[in-house]
Chain A
């Protein structure tokens, strides 16, 4: 068919002439002067005639079918010579060596020292853009290693400034690849960590800091020299200036210095963060501050470099300038590595522009600073809250990898505390019962692993995180069941009440974590825009029932750990839902539980308000031809339902709860019973929003030291207030004014 029309392709053949069909025709014609040289065991042969006859033999729509080549396999076929598919297509140079021979990466960059320095600064800036682009999810081959100087590291040894810069860039990238590989959890890292065929490690790279120090000192002296009043007079004691134009010496020295210093401090940051058990965090913060200062200095050099752009290569006419001076950098060619970036089709990737690259590093440094600022003696719960807060900054892969590296090392919390001890502390297991033998029990080992996995999952990107959280729900549930059985066995076999106590504490803790995971799973759906408006009602409803359970377990844990005073008069038989509902009026409820109660009121109010809007005005609905709301319910809550989180909950529970929601309370049916299972028939939605607002206000004093919690409370108040107003409006209007809809 048409795709083979202009195929005069030359195909390489192995020396298997005995089996070569061409031989029989006697038309084996060796190719003279091929552009790609023959190898030792191979020779080029022109098979155009063979392909021609084969093509004539095939009719339109016919396909050669082989055992290992079916239609599915055929989809992976690449069309040779299609630049979108064929990464072997040569665009300018066949090889790095050819590029070098052609003068694409001269050393020095120019014999004119001013031009040389200016061009090196352009190289430094462009490399920063490459690095930021790599961090954002592209391959090393197409970013950092589009730099010919880095592809042939030995060439730069005669040029100290370029050489030391290249060395520190290599060492930095190596350090980053190392930490991301170590904390590997997901395909996001796949493209990032591919280093095959690339000269990422070179002997002597570990000395990069001393190399940098030498060159930094030299340039510092050059800067001092040019600032001294007698600098225009040459004397034998004067050191050689950085470049030959004395008026520009100060500007160029400063421009070079801040770039070198940024590299130095950034490498230090990575080294400090790598230190075990978070020992380097304080020092890392100091270097982070220096990095940010140097980035500021780098930005300040823009004006000077732009005004001297005539010393650079040609001007970059595109919008995305990758250098401060606006010039094109010398020595880069992203097409040289297309064959090395094999998994991805050959596409020119768009590099981040210089300003954006600087911004990226500023953000990365701020995120790393947050990672360093969390105390390493934090509790498990504290860490969970911290990671959730941290994720609100939308940190990129490098920052998240460093967080995970800090939190989990060698299967231990902060690389230091065994998980069993951490969990016992979190579950408030009484000291005496911390039996060291029992931690070798298979179930407890498994529990430790689940907790570690949870921490790792929480450090991944939101999309991946949600999927994993959904999957682990079942693991937590099953473990709870196993431990429950074990407790029962323990109870029957021995009379050790201390072991029973421990089991009980841990079982409650497991349940609390399970509901917390379920809540996080549901909430992330909003962040990821997975819910459409017609699904809000069921989502808020499910959040509501999960939060009630979470509140129960949290409160239970706090009571059994003695965090709250004993509550007299609370009979065991009393309905759990009511006990949390009365929480707001009982002064002995801890603030954390009250905060949860606030969320519960909001979720409840939103569920019923949306339900009433659906029932009375027909909005927020979706009537597709192929399925019903029940199927969508089953799909969204599949993981939760499979793991029975919570038990005895189904689409019918949701329908029962919401079918009678309406705005006009007087028209509501009289409730027969106010048990949770039957759902609410009468509606006092307004009160839910009011209650939420009230609790949020009252809790301000309890969380006066916690800026994150205060922000959360403000947000809750706002949401409650706005919805309360909306609710008032809607219930007073008989029908929805089209402008309000």
Chain B
């Protein structure tokens, strides 16, 4: 049985995966089943409701042929004078891993955070979770801190953080300048010279 699923899964095309924003109560049991299956910590239904009720636009589900095979659950809010996003849970069923589905889910969530005005995004991951560390590393997260014995099993965690370019930072300006230089011919005099 498992081999069939594996073979079937290995023949999946990226285009066959459908990404959907959290749409309501009907999605909740799908998410819960996924997370309960894959993650070791028990979450009560209230935990899920907290996230998807307050930030439905930050949670996404991935479907393959009508089956929910992945999900990301996040939140955002004010934290010590910064508006920041937080990725709470990310799960993709085992047979569907290494196809970029998790990256796509996370990317969508982070895009919404960015558009909503977040200055940064954060999450924790076990130091042994090479897959997650590589995924977030590729997206530009740094390992900001190491948290000693963060998890119940005594494993350390990294706090991962992604800093969005600040609109007032020179890097944003330089990209503005680059596009200005590239469009020299338009001669837009309204842009101030730096």
Q: Which residues of A contact B (CB under 8 A)?
A: 1, 3, 60-61, 63, 71-72, 74-75, 77-79, 82, 84-85, 136-137, 188, 344-345, 347, 461-464, 466-467, 528-532, 535, 622, 624-628, 630-632, 634-636, 651-652
Q: Is B110 an interface residue (CB 8 A)?
A: yes
Interface bits B158-172 vs A (CB < 8 Å: 1, else 0): 100111110001110
Residue of B nearest to A631 (CB): B163
Q: Is B116 an interface residue (CB 8 A)?
A: no
- Which residues of A have CB within 8 Å of B154? 136-137
- Which residues of B have CB within 8 Å of A347? 152
- Which residues of B have CB within 8 Å of A632? 140, 142, 163
A63 touches B169 (CB 8 A): no
Nearest CB in chain A: distance from B188 CB, A: 24
B42 touches A461 (CB 8 A): no
A626 touches B50 (CB 8 A): no
- Which residues of B have CB within 8 Å of A461? 148
Within 8 A of A (CB), among B127-164: 127, 137-140, 142-149, 152, 154, 156, 158, 161-164
B46 touches A625 (CB 8 A): no
Which among A60, A63, A622 is the interface contact of B140 at CB below 8 angstroms? A622
Q: Is B47 an interface residue (CB 8 A)?
A: yes
Which among A85, A464, A635, A652 is the interface contact of B142 at CB below 8 angstroms? A635
- Which residues of B have CB within 8 Å of A466? 145-146
- Sample of 5 further A-B pairs with CB below 8 A, known A530-B158, A651-B171: A63-B49, A463-B147, A463-B148, A626-B110, A626-B114
Question: CA A345 – CA B44 in complex, angstroms?
Answer: 13
Q: What's the tally of chain B residues with a CB closer than 8 Å to chain A? A: 39
- Which residues of A have CB within 8 Å of B142? 530, 532, 535, 632, 635-636
Main secondary structure of the interface of A (DSSP, over half): loop
Question: CA A136 – CA B154 in complex, angstroms?
Answer: 9
A85 touches B162 (CB 8 A): no
Nearest CB in chain B: distance from A537 CB, A: 14
A622 touches B42 (CB 8 A): no
Q: Which residues of B contact A (CB under 8 A)?
A: 25, 28, 42, 44-47, 49-50, 53-54, 107, 110, 114, 127, 137-140, 142-149, 152, 154, 156, 158, 161-165, 169-171
Question: CA A436 – CA B156 in complex, angstroms?
Answer: 47
B139 touches A631 (CB 8 A): no
Question: CA A188 – CA B156 in complex, angstroms?
Answer: 12
A79 touches B140 (CB 8 A): no
A79 touches B164 (CB 8 A): no
Residue of A nearest to B136 (CB): A624
Given A75-B46, A77-B46, the answer on whether A137 and B149 have CB atoms closer than 8 Å is yes
B107 touches A530 (CB 8 A): no
B156 touches A627 (CB 8 A): no
Residue of A nearest to B145 (CB): A467
B46 touches A63 (CB 8 A): yes
Given A72-B50, A529-B143, the answer on whether A622 and B163 have CB atoms closer than 8 Å is no
B149 touches A188 (CB 8 A): yes
A622 touches B138 (CB 8 A): yes
- Which residues of B have CB within 8 Å of A61? 25, 28, 49
Nearest CB in chain B: distance from A642 CB, A: 14
A626 touches B148 (CB 8 A): no
Nearest CB in chain A: distance from B164 CB, A: 6
A627 touches B140 (CB 8 A): yes
B158 touches A631 (CB 8 A): no
A79 touches B44 (CB 8 A): yes
B25 touches A627 (CB 8 A): no
- Which residues of B have CB within 8 Å of A652? 170
- Which residues of B have CB within 8 Å of A78? 44
Question: CA A575 – CA B152 in complex, angstroms?
Answer: 54
Which among B25, B140, B147 is the interface contact of A624 at CB below 8 angstroms? B140
Question: CA A78 – CA B43 in complex, angstroms?
Answer: 9
Residue of A nearest to B140 (CB): A624
Nearest CB in chain B: distance from A22 CB, A: 26
Given A61-B28, A77-B46, A345-B152, the answer on whether A630 and B139 have CB atoms closer than 8 Å is no
Residue of A nearest to B53 (CB): A71
Which among A85, A463, A630 is the interface contact of B165 at CB below 8 angstroms? A630
- Which residues of B have CB within 8 Å of A530? 142-146, 158
A3 touches B140 (CB 8 A): no
Residue of A nearest to B48 (CB): A75
- Which residues of A have CB within 8 Å of B54? 71
Residue of B nearest to A527 (CB): B146
Question: CA A636 – CA B160 in complex, angstroms?
Answer: 12
Which among A84, A463, A535, A625 is the interface contact of B156 at CB below 8 angstroms? A463
- Which residues of B have CB within 8 Å of A84? 42
A529 touches B163 (CB 8 A): no
Nearest CB in chain A: distance from B44 CB, A: 5
- Which residues of A have CB within 8 Å of B127? 529
B161 touches A635 (CB 8 A): yes
Nearest CB in chain B: distance from A320 CB, A: 15
Determine which residue in A85, A622, A636 has the highest number of CB atoms from chain B within 10 A of its CB, and name it.
A622
| Closest CB pairs A-B (n = 8) | A624-B140, A74-B46, A463-B146, A631-B163, A463-B148, A71-B50, A528-B146, A630-B171
- Which residues of B have CB within 8 Å of A627? 140, 162-165
- Which residues of A have CB within 8 Å of B47? 75
Question: CA A456 – CA B124 in complex, angstroms?
Answer: 27
Question: CA A72 – CA B77 in complex, angstroms?
Answer: 13
Nearest CB in chain B: distance from A388 CB, A: 18
Residue of A nearest to B45 (CB): A3
- Which residues of A have CB within 8 Å of B45? 1, 3
Nearest CB in chain B: distance from A520 CB, A: 15
B143 touches A531 (CB 8 A): yes
Nearest CB in chain B: distance from A540 CB, A: 16
Question: CA A337 – CA B88 in complex, angstroms?
Answer: 31
A631 touches B149 (CB 8 A): no
Nearest CB in chain B: distance from A67 CB, A: 17
A464 touches B140 (CB 8 A): no
Residue of A nearest to B40 (CB): A84
A77 touches B152 (CB 8 A): no
Question: CA A671 – CA B86 in complex, angstroms?
Answer: 47
Given A63-B49, A631-B163, the answer on whether A344 and B148 have CB atoms closer than 8 Å is no
B171 touches A75 (CB 8 A): no
Nearest CB in chain A: distance from B39 CB, A: 12
Question: CA A463 – CA B46 in complex, angstroms?
Answer: 32
A-B contacts, 30 of them at CB < 8 A, read: A3-B44, A60-B25, A71-B46, A71-B50, A71-B53, A71-B54, A74-B46, A74-B50, A75-B46, A75-B47, A79-B42, A79-B44, A85-B44, A136-B154, A344-B152, A463-B146, A463-B147, A463-B148, A530-B142, A530-B146, A622-B137, A624-B140, A625-B107, A626-B114, A630-B165, A630-B169, A630-B170, A631-B162, A631-B164, A635-B163
